[in-house]
Structure 1
Amino acid sequence: MASTLPFEILIEIFSYLHPKDLYSLSLVCKRYRTLLWSKISTTTQDIWRTSRIRYILHPTFDPPEKMSEQQYNYLLMVVNSCQFCGECCRYKLAMHWEFRIFCCHDCLLQRCISRNSLMNDWKVSGELLACLQQVITPPRSKQKLFLVSDIIKTLSEYHDIEAENKRLIWIQEKQSYINNMIREHKKYKAQFELIRYSNSERIQRLLNRFKFYKHTSTLV
């Protein structure tokens, strides 16, 4: 019966469902996936937006720039394990909005290098270092880490620019983007933790970052 219902009826039904249910339905058949998975359909985006507003008790921000409602709902309410290894321990996991990834501390560290390594081994200048997105909330307090895949992408962008004056413009724009990303991360991080964690869990997560600082200080 559901496979023959008019789209108008399905849209009305879907608007009452939790984001997790919408994700499950998107895997049922091509018809549902077509309706629920379009990144450009205003109807599809409205379905997910309505679900988000209905099931998240706190007011939420609109999705970050260039992020669909589907991805936003997934990061806010659905994902609960490391996207790389499947780790499920809540105290070992963190959302990194600046890279749009949800992963455990170990997997993050495996994919990052320190500021010292960038300067000494990669020979990245201070000017270019300011154009690289730092992990804003590292697993341990005061770590200065950078995601390798993001480093490669950013440095490739820079070296593809031949004209010196255009490189200078790119550097200014990139540094401005990084500053905006820091502000965005703080906003979305606070929202995510309010939605996902209790007060006691938030305190414990903060303590965990400081507790093992000495153990990992050699990475800084």
Structure 2
Amino acid sequence: MASTLPFEILIEIFSYLHPKDLYSLSLVCKRYRTLLWSKISTTTQDIWRTSRIRYILHPTFDPPEKMSEQQYNYLLMVVNSCQFCGECCRYKLAMHWEFRIFCCHDCLLQRCISRNSLMNDWKVSGELLACLQQVITPPRSKQKLFLVSDIIKTLSEYHDIEAENKRLIWIQEKQSYINNMIREHKKYKAQFELIRLFDLTF
């Protein structure tokens, strides 16, 4: 019967479901996935937005720029295990919003490098270091970590620029971008932690 229901009725039903249920439904059949997984359909985005507003008990920010409601809901309310090893103990897990990574500390360390290693072993200058997004760690942590995949991508962008004057412009723009992103990432990370604090189903 569900396979023959008009889209209008399905949309109405879906608007009452929790994001976790929407993810489960998107795996049921091609019809549901078509309706629930489009990143450009305003109807699809409205379904997920309505679900987010309905099931998160306090106001939330809109998704970051270029992030779909599906991915936003997944990060806020659905993901519950390390994205690399599957660890499920909530006390071993953390969201690193700056890289859209939810993982345990061990898996994070395997994919990161310290500031000292970047400067001493990789010979990254202080100027370029300021162009890299640092992993947001707990306030009492003495480690300053950087994600290796992000380092490689950023350094590749820099070295692809041949003209020295264009490199200087790139550095200035990148540093400004990183400073703005630091504020945004902290805002979304705090929101995530507040949601998980009151979400007893996590």
Distance apart, 1:66 and its partner CA: 1.2
CA distance in 1, matches of 2:89, 2:138: 17
Distance apart, 1:139 and its partner CA: 9.3
Distance apart, 1:160 and its partner CA: 0.6
CA distance in 2, matches of 1:23, 1:52: 13
Structure 1 contact 94–104 (Cα < 8 Å) conserved: yes
Moved more, 156-165 or 49-58: 156-165
Cα separation, partners in 2 of 1:92 and 1:139, compared to 1, 3 Å: farther
Distance apart, 1:142 and its partner CA: 2.2
Distance apart, 1:138 and its partner CA: 5.2
CA distance in 2, matches of 1:47, 1:16: 9
CA distance in 2, matches of 1:172, 1:91: 38
Structure 1 contact 105–139 (Cα < 8 Å) conserved: no
CA distance in 1, matches of 2:159, 2:138: 28
Moved more, 123-132 or 180-189: 180-189
Cα separation, partners in 2 of 1:167 and 1:138, compared to 1, 3 Å: farther
1:66-215 alignment runs, 5 A limit: 66-137=66-137, 141-194=141-194
Structure 1 contact 138–144 (Cα < 8 Å) conserved: no
Q: Secondary structure at the match of 1:151?
A: helix
CA distance in 1, matches of 2:155, 2:138: 22
Moved more, 31-40 or 173-182: 173-182
CA distance in 2, matches of 1:91, 1:37: 31
CA distance in 2, matches of 1:126, 1:190: 29
Cα separation, partners in 2 of 1:75 and 1:64, compared to 1, 3 Å: same
CA distance in 2, matches of 1:50, 1:95: 23
CA distance in 2, matches of 1:91, 1:79: 14
Distance apart, 1:116 and its partner CA: 0.5
CA distance in 2, matches of 1:138, 1:121: 25
Q: Secondary structure at the match of 2:49?
A: helix
CA distance in 1, matches of 2:74, 2:193: 15
Distance apart, 1:185 and its partner CA: 1.4
CA distance in 1, matches of 2:140, 2:71: 27
Long gaps (5+) in structure 2: 195-200
Cα separation, partners in 2 of 1:28 and 1:139, compared to 1, 3 Å: farther
Number of aligned positions between the proteins: 196
Distance apart, 1:136 and its partner CA: 1.4
Distance apart, 1:96 and its partner CA: 0.6
Long gaps (5+) in structure 1: 195-218
Cα separation, partners in 2 of 1:90 and 1:185, compared to 1, 3 Å: same
Q: How far does the alpha carbon of each residue in 1:89-118 deviate from its partner, in whole angstroms, 9 at most, with x for none?
A: 111100011101100000000100100100
CA distance in 2, matches of 1:183, 1:137: 14
Distance apart, 1:65 and its partner CA: 1.3
CA distance in 1, matches of 2:190, 2:152: 29
Q: Secondary structure at the match of 2:153?
A: helix
Moved more, 134-143 or 145-154: 134-143
Distance apart, 1:183 and its partner CA: 0.4
Distance apart, 1:186 and its partner CA: 1.3
Distance apart, 1:177 and its partner CA: 1.2
Q: How far does the alpha carbon of each residue in 1:108-164 deviate from its partner, in whole angstroms, 9 at most, with x for none?
A: 001001001000100001100000110112596121000000000000010111111
